Amino acid sequence: MFLRSKLRESGVHELIAFDKDLQYMHTFNRGKRIASGLAAAWQNQNRYAAARNIVHGALATDQILSGSEKTFGNSCDDYAQVKRKTS
pLDDT at 15: 92
For residue 18, give the amino acid letter: F
Contact 73, 80 (CB under 8 A): no
Percent of the chain with pLDDT over 70: 75
Check residues 23 and 74 and name the one with the higher pLDDT. Answer: 23
Residue 37 CA, chain-centre distance (Å), reads 14
Decide if pLDDT at 73 tops 90: no
> What is the per-residue pLDDT across 10-24, written as a single tens digit (0 to 9) for each?
999 999 999 999 889
Better pLDDT: 16 or 68 = 16
